Structure 1
């Protein structure tokens, strides 16, 4: 039972100078959705239409750019039905004028990113559930990779809302959108997604490190961070384990995360009942001295267990918290590791 030894946390990442001219929104969009993607969205719908009907779709780059723009705008100006943008009573001119409704429907029907004939059978070891959108996903990842990383990053899961038929569809009751496609993402402190991996069951990641899928995903998502630059990564208890924090430390990446007690073998922290008797703000901690990794249980309204490779107990600050029983604000001790994670 000792505090973590002091760690040099100075992040020596170097950032480029800001651009000389401010980019337009369209130019920023082009850095993520490149001309290669648009060209794919021209070639593949034409090919799909020929395969199904024997006649070409006769679309082009300009028309596909309009189609993408309409979809973006529909996400801003929302209506219950797609056709309402063209209906006389609810007509929305920026969309209705740019493309006829029937043409939009036809483009949507034949929208493809990859050749269907390349799809392998499920029994094939090279079968890819994301083959139909693989070129698009890879290009978007490539666009994200040009974003220069900030010091602080968070790895978490998010849901792309979707209720259609797909083997990728998941139900996550804790999310605002409970049905959809699960995506694991790394975002920086500005809220910008820097890398992501779509969950597709077995085969989501190929780097079997012995940490389980949760740990493998974190190591996969931090691949884009330069090593030994002392970036900070935050995770929740689905990802965090002692072995993960130790592995990140080998890459020169510091970490803080909430952790399940079952993933801290041999680390016996005080029971919740004992901490509850001591009152709000009580805590117990242990440090694995060989790797200088600390585990701490802090009791507020309920207990939370955290693990860290660079933040420990000290300094302990007093924070104002509302007490229901006393009906007033009281001072509650908060260790530094808890402050860092909340921040």
Structure 2
């Protein structure tokens, strides 16, 4: 059997696809980069526009032109079944030096972390966990009773207050060791049975009432127990208990708000936490749901979602405002399907088969209109149509096959040329 398709290479984003022989059955011709772009665009589109089943996007009753016109169903499922993120020939077997349980996704994971780190890290970051749902069989799958999705992969991420993920780890990586090497100071919650040799006087808290606290320190690490509605344990190698501050809480007995004392490290923890939770919330809005028994494909699609969420945060930081998240995902999907990311020659079988008197599109997105790729004129209408270029009163038979609008293209005007260069 020949090597399967490769989505990601360690230092160079390339796509390789080969015909594959499995049990003497030949599967498909070579895949192009344009097909991979279309596949990713379709998958992202499906995450926003939901239908009961994958095949419904091509069925007559619920057909989605964006998907069905981009790629045939059989070709889509064929490429999806061969989707990989590494070269299987380079994988170390269990027991061999250099064996990695995440070998199937390691190149993609490392590349994303490398690119995420290019954005400047804020002074305060939160580290938290979230679950990537998966019910298949793999030894990295965990069960977390208190999570909404109880079965799946545990992902640790470090994020700023905005929700931008600067680095993420799949369980199996050593998070604490990595943070130590990077010189991070940590303030975190700890469980009651994980305080080791730092016992605090938690038994007397209920008598003292809300706002009471106790702490111990050793070897540069401080552990503080604070009584709010229940006992909260926080450890830190950076913050101290003093100076304390007052926080406002509702008291059930008096049915009124009261001020209670709060240690400094707990206030600092509450101020900086929640970045990963924001990202987790965004990922849960429009996740890519491609069912598969292959454990690594669920992680691949989660990483794509994570990259899109980070891109949305960057757009918001640069522009000061951003479009709605689902519109942002749809714009990326359209960009990928239209082939706007990288020039490639248009094949004859990729030319859309349109009727002679097709009407002009009502709106053309800027990232399609101004990308400068494959804007090919074709004489379409039997009866001349109104030119789409602003302030042009003429009529024309020439049609842009990519923008799907009628534009003048003759010696008297340059509407076709100007439409794709000026706003």
Return the match for 1:282 from 206, 212, 215: 212
| Cα pair distance change 1:294/1:36, threshold 3 Å | closer
The higher radius of gyration belongs to: 2
Return the match for 1:171 from 143, 160, 166: 143
1:299 aligns with 2:227: yes
Q: CA deviation at 1:336?
A: 1.6
CA distance in 2, matches of 1:339, 1:297: 13
CA distance in 2, matches of 1:218, 1:334: 27
1:140 aligns with 2:104: no
1:336 aligns with 2:294: no
Q: Is the deviation greater in 81-90 or in 277-286?
A: 81-90
What runs of 5+ residues in structure 2 fail to find an aligned partner? 1-7, 272-423
Q: CA deviation at 1:56?
A: 5.4
TM-score scaled by structure 2?
Answer: 0.56
SS in 1 for 2:43: helix
Q: CA deviation at 1:145?
A: 2.6
1:258 aligns with 2:216: no
CA distance in 2, matches of 1:35, 1:66: 22
SS in 2 for 1:152: coil
| Cα pair distance change 1:115/1:308, threshold 3 Å | closer
Return the match for 1:98 from 70, 89, 93: 70
Q: Is the 8 A contact 2:10 2:111 kept in 1?
A: no
| Cα pair distance change 1:309/1:99, threshold 3 Å | same
Q: CA deviation at 1:61?
A: 0.7
1:220 aligns with 2:173: no
CA distance in 2, matches of 1:79, 1:218: 41
Equivalent positions of 1:1-343 (< 5 A) are 38-39=13-14, 42-43=15-16, 45-46=17-18, 49=20, 53-54=25-26, 57-199=29-171, 204-205=172-173, 216-221=174-179, 223=181, 225=182, 251=183, 253-272=184-203, 274-288=204-218, 291=220, 293-343=221-271
SS in 2 for 1:340: helix
SS in 1 for 2:105: helix
CA distance in 1, matches of 2:155, 2:258: 40
CA distance in 1, matches of 2:259, 2:27: 74
Q: Is the 8 A contact 2:202 2:214 kept in 1?
A: no
| Cα pair distance change 1:158/1:270, threshold 3 Å | same
CA distance in 2, matches of 1:195, 1:180: 20
| Cα pair distance change 1:72/1:34, threshold 3 Å | farther
| Cα pair distance change 1:278/1:138, threshold 3 Å | same
CA distance in 1, matches of 2:31, 2:228: 60
Q: CA deviation at 1:342?
A: 0.9
How many residues were matched structurally? Answer: 263
Q: CA deviation at 1:299?
A: 0.4
CA distance in 1, matches of 2:133, 2:87: 25
Q: Is the 8 A contact 1:50 1:56 kept in 2?
A: no
TM-score scaled by structure 1?
Answer: 0.68
What runs of 5+ residues in structure 1 fail to find an aligned partner? 1-32, 206-215, 226-250
Q: Is the 8 A contact 1:196 1:221 kept in 2?
A: no
CA distance in 2, matches of 1:142, 1:67: 24
Q: Is the 8 A contact 1:185 1:194 kept in 2?
A: yes
SS in 2 for 1:90: coil
CA distance in 1, matches of 2:227, 2:94: 49
